[in-house]
Amino acid sequence: MLKGADNAVKEQEDCASRHGEMTSWDINDIELPQDVRQTDWFQEWPDSYVKHVYSSEDKNAQRHHSSWAMRNTNNHNSRILKKSCLGVVVCGNDCSTLDGRKIYLRPAICDKARQKQQRKCCPNCNGPLRLLSCRGHGGYPVTNFWRHEGQFIFFQSKGAHDHPRPETKLEAEARRSIQKAQTAFSPSSPRLKRSQETE
């Protein structure tokens, strides 16, 4: 029985030392570890100061996917992709939908499109929209770093998001397509008027 307990403790120590090896690197190191025994499951909402090693076969890692609204940022190292968080667009009236959810829209990536987005009305209450910028990395946006090395894709996040999660890209696309369908067939829609006149 004691031998079994010793084995369990040894396994925990081995796991802890492997984890220590895994997190002892920094994305800016000249060389990153290539003796990785086990890669991580992909994280859609990475938060705080975290590091992950993904397989180079992982499609989400290949696309540098994140459900946070991130945009590419200028970086002086061509081997490292740097992305910064844009925050979340919220209703200025702090309204809630019928099912009690708050409005957390995905900010547009382009600066001009984001400014235009904030001039639009809340899709729920027609109130003003406003951008909550991410300031979770010492007053600056949370930054994600991606680096492809050999069989692995290394990921490092610096900062903790200080705002709610925005809708995902899929949720944003679904909302926009529903809005387009509603405006296309609203009573004041020119398309609907034309179809009524031809009938």
pLDDT tens-digit map of 133-159: 999 999 999 999 999 999 999 999 999
Give the residue-averaged pLDDT of 59-67. Answer: 94
| Bridge partners, 105 (sequence order) | 89
Looking at residue 193, its amino acid is: K
Under a CB-based contact definition with an 8 Å cutoff, are residues 84 and 121 in contact? Answer: no
Single pTM value for the model:
0.74
Separation between Cα atoms, residue 154 and residue 36, nearest integer Å: 11
Tell me the domains of the chain and their CATH numbers: 53-86+136-163 (2.20.25.670), 88-133 (3.30.70.3530)
Decide which of 1 and 74 is more confident. Answer: 74
pLDDT at 8 over 70: no
Sign, Cα dihedral of 111, 114, 118, 120: positive
